[in-house]
C-alpha cells in the first residue's frame, strides 16, 4: 500500500496525538506520510484564549495544511476530530481526498438542546466547584474505554487529558455542543469511511451507521471488542480498515 497523499489525523476532545500512535507507526512503516494535528490547548498546542468555533478550528487546520504544503489529505478524525474533518470536508472539499470518521457524528446532542445543556453541566460543574481537570481525567477516560482496556493505555490518556489547558478545554466543550453538519452529508463527494466501536457509549454504532447511510457511497464498519478509544483498544482492526480504505482511494 503506497500513497503520495498524506494522512492527517485529528484527535478528539481531551486527547492528543498519542491516540493515533498505532496507526501512524503502521502507516509510516508502509511509506505513507502522516501528520497529527492537535487542537488548541491540547498536547502542548498553543491557544489564543479566544472562543473556539468549528469554523475557526477549520481555519487553523487549513493553515496547518498550508504550512505543511499539503494541498489535499486523507483526513482521519476521531470523535470531535471527526466533526472537524467533516467541517473541512463540507466547506473546503478540495482539501479532503478522503474522509474517515471514527466514533463521530454529524451533530452533537439533541434537536431541542437538552442533551447539550446536561452534557455541559456534567462536564463544567466539577470544574466550577474547584476540581482540576487532572482530578477528573481518570473517570472521564474510563468512561471512554472497556473495563479490559490495558492500564498503560488508560494511564497515557489520563496523562494527556491532565495536561490540557483547562480554559481551552472549557472553550472546546462550548464549541463541541454547537456542531451540526447533517445538511452537508448528502453533498459529500469524496470517499468516506465510518468506524464505530462495538461498545462505544459516546457514539453508538447505530448512530454512526445512520450517519453513513446519509453519505453517498459511504462505508460503515463496526470495530469489535472496542469502545470509544478504539484506535488504541483495537489498533490492528482500525489500522487494517483505514489502510485498506486509503489504498483503494489512492489506486
Within 10 angstroms of residue 247's Cβ, the number of other Cβ atoms is 14
Distance CA 185, CA 46 (A): 31
- At residue 28, the pLDDT reads 92
Summarize the confidence of residues 97-108 as an average pLDDT: 97
Provide DSSP, 3-61.
-SSPEEEE--TT--GGGGHHHHHHHHHTT--EEEE--TTSTT----SSPP-HHHHHHHH
C-alpha cell of residue 123: 462536564
Please report whether residue 2 resides in a domain.
no
Residue 198 lies in a domain: yes
Question: Is residue 132 situated within a structural domain?
Answer: yes
In a domain? residue 1: no
Question: Percentage of residues in the chain with pLDDT exceeding 90?
Answer: 93
pTM, 2 dp: 0.95
- How many domains does the chain fold into? 1
Residue with cell 496523562: 159
- Residue 122: CATH number of its domain: 3.40.50.1820
Position 246 in a domain: yes
pLDDT of residue 250: 58
Q: Where in the sequence is the domain holding 90, given as residue range(s)?
A: 7-250
Over residues 138-181, the pLDDT tens digits come to 999 999 999 999 999 999 999 999 999 999 999 999 999 999 99
229: in domain: yes
Amino acid at each position: 500500500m503506497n500513497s503520495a497523499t498524506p494522512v492527517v489525523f485529528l484527535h478528539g476532545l481531551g486527547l492528543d496525538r498519542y491516540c493515533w500512535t498505532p496507526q501512524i507507526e503502521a502507516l509510516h512503516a508502509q511509506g505513507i506520510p502522516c501528520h497529527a494535528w492537535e487542537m488548541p490547548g491540547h498536547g502542548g498546542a498553543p491557544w489564543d484564549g479566544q472562543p473556539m468555533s468549528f469554523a475557526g478550528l477549520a481555519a487553523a487546520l487549513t493553515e496547518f495544511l498550508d504550512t505543511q504544503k499539503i494541498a489535499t489529505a486523507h483526513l482521519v478524525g476521531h470523535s470531535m476530530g471527526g466533526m472537524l474533518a467533516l467541517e473541512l470536508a463540507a466547506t473546503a472539499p478540495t482539501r479532503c481526498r478522503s474522509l474517515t470518521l471514527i466514533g463521530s457524528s454529524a451533530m452533537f446532542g439533541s434537536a431541542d438542546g437538552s442533551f447539550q445543556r446536561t452534557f455541559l453541566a456534567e462536564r463544567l460543574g466539577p470544574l466550577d466547584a474547584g476540581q482540576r481537570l487532572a482530578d477528573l481525567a481518570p473517570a472521564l477516560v474510563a468512561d471512554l474505554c472497556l473495563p479490559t482496556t490495558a492500564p498503560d493505555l488508560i494511564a497515557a490518556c489520563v496523562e494527556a487529558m491532565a495536561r490540557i489547558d483547562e480554559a481551552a478545554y472549557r472553550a472546546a466543550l462550548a464549541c463541541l455542543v454547537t456542531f451540526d453538519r447533517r445538511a452537508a452529508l448528502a453533498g459529500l463527494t469524496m470517499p468516506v469511511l465510518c468506524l464505530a466501536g462495538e461498545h462505544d457509549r459516546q457514539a453508538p454504532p447505530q448512530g454512526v451507521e445512520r450517519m453513513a447511510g446519509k453519505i453517498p457511497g459511504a462505508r460503515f464498519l463496526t470495530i469489535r471488542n472496542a469502545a470509544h478509544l478504539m484506535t488504541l483498544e483495537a489498533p490492528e482492526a482500525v489500522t487494517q480498515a483505514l489502510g485498506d480504505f486509503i489504498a483503494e482511494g489512492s489506486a
